[in-house]
Homo-oligomer: A and B are copies of this chain.
Amino acid sequence: MINDNAPGSRARRDIAKTVSAVLDTKFFKALCDPVRAEIIRRLVTIGAADVGTIAKTMTQDRSVISRHLAQLERAEILMSRKDGRRRLYDMAGPDIVTKLEDILAAVSPMRELCVPFGGRECNCAGKCECGRAAA
């Protein structure tokens, strides 16, 4: 089809729907906070660990770390299991990779379909901030 990227085209509506569906707010939100990012960094480095062990190396209170860990598990970034009175958390590596692959698959048609401004040059003659615009 020559007119796939026309405004409101079937192709555009389809990809909009697919992209919306795959935009997992819970997943992205969990990745935004710097403390949670640091927790992820440490769990990747050291492997499975309990709440106290993780909290000991960070400035926040244990209860705060506990809540961050629970949120990361709800976002399916971590998994947990009980070990006596402790709870062990570990990275859900395969799940994370699968989720990102799904997102990429949904988004990748945008490479051809959502070329900004149809690839047309800006006629601003350097007056606006469109530096990244025209290929």
Contacts and interface: CB of A to CB of B under 8 A. Distances in A.
A118 B128 CA distance: 53
Given A37-B20, A81-B124, A117 B96 contact: no
A92 B107 contact: no
The binding surface of chain A is classed by DSSP as helix
Interface string A52-76: 0000000000000000000000001
A110 B44 contact: yes
Contacts of A28: 28-29, 31-32
Q: Sorted from nearest, which 5 A-B pairs have the closest CB atoms? A: A93-B114, A93-B110, A91-B114, A16-B44, A81-B130
B16 A133 contact: no
Contacts of A41: 16, 19-20
Contact of A132 (B95, B101, B127, B133): B95
B23 A37 contact: yes
Contact of A103 (B91, B94, B95, B100): B100
